[in-house]
């Protein structure tokens, strides 16, 4: 199933899940909870924003709903674990990463791709020296 980008990123992720479950996937609450291997009450709490899913459940939701992991992480304000790992790896990085992210906050997808490629080139040249 293709991963979809949310058309309205301001819409709460729980509402997006419910609308997709009912309108596109045509699944009832109990059926989807069974697919996700959770209790129906747990899924209700997620859809009503009373709970956020664990990492494993978030991945199952991504697969079952056909929603990109990045969209779910954004909707629940849950960055990938590598973000915390990198941001705290040493004192310099702990200082520079927040500054970098504040500066890069408004980059477009194309600008992010360019920055990533530029970073890869910088790192490959560093290894050549």
What pLDDT is attached to residue 8?
53
What pLDDT is attached to residue 10?
78
What pLDDT is attached to residue 6?
45
Cβ pair 56, 67 in contact under 8 A = no
**Domain ranges for the chain:** 13-75, 81-128
Give CA–CA dist 3/14, Å, rounded: 17
CATH topology classification for 13-75: 434 Repressor (Amino-terminal Domain) (1.10.260)
pTM of the shown model: 0.75
Give CA–CA dist 82/95, Å, rounded: 16
What pLDDT is attached to residue 127?
66
pLDDT block averages, 10 residues each, the chain of length 129: 53 95 97 98 97 95 96 92 90 93 93 95 79
Give CA–CA dist 17/40, Å, rounded: 14
Phi-psi region of 66 (alpha: psi -120 to 50; beta: other; left: phi over 0): left
Token pair for 64: 């079952």
């Amino acid at each position: 199933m293709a991963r979809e980008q949310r058309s309205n990123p301001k819409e709460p992720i729980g509402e997006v899940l419910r609308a997709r479950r009912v309108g596109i996937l045509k699944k009832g609450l109990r059926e989807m909870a069974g697919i996700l291997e959770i209790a129906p009450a747990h899924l209700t709490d997620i859809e009503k924003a009373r709970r956020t899913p664990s990492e494993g459940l978030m991945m199952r939701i991504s697969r079952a709903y056909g929603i990109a992991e990045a969209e779910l992480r954004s909707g629940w304000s849950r960055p990938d674990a590598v973000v915390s790992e990198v941001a705290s790896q040493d004192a310099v990085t702990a200082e520079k990463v927040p500054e970098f992210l504040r500066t890069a906050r408004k980059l477009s997808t194309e600008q992010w791709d360019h920055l990533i490629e530029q970073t890869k080139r910088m790192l490959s040249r560093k290894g050549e020296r």
